Amino acid sequence: MDPNALYYVIAAILVIVGLIGTVLPALPGLPLVFAGMLLAAWTGGFEQVGVLMLVVLGVLTLVSLAVDFWATALGAKRVGASRKAIIGAMLGTFAGLFFGPFGLLLGPFAGALLGELLHRRSLGSSDLGDAAKIGFGTWLGILFGIALKLGLAFAMLGLFALDWWL
Q: In this structure, how many other beta carbons lie within 10 angstroms of the beta carbon of residue 50?
A: 11
pLDDT at 133 over 90: no
pLDDT at 138 over 70: yes
pLDDT digits (tens, 9 = 90+) for 76-129: 777 788 888 888 888 887 888 788 777 877 888 898 889 888 887 766 666 778
Give the span between the Cα atoms of 32 and 19, in whole angstroms. 8
Buried b (16+ CB within 10 A) or exposed e, 83-102: ebbbbbbbbbbbbbeeeeee
What amino acid is encoded at 24 in this protein? L
What amino acid is encoded at 105 in this protein? L
pLDDT digits (tens, 9 = 90+) for 22-72: 887 667 899 999 999 999 999 999 999 999 999 999 999 999 888 877 776
- pTM for the full model? 0.78
Give the span between the Cα atoms of 112 and 116, in whole angstroms. 6
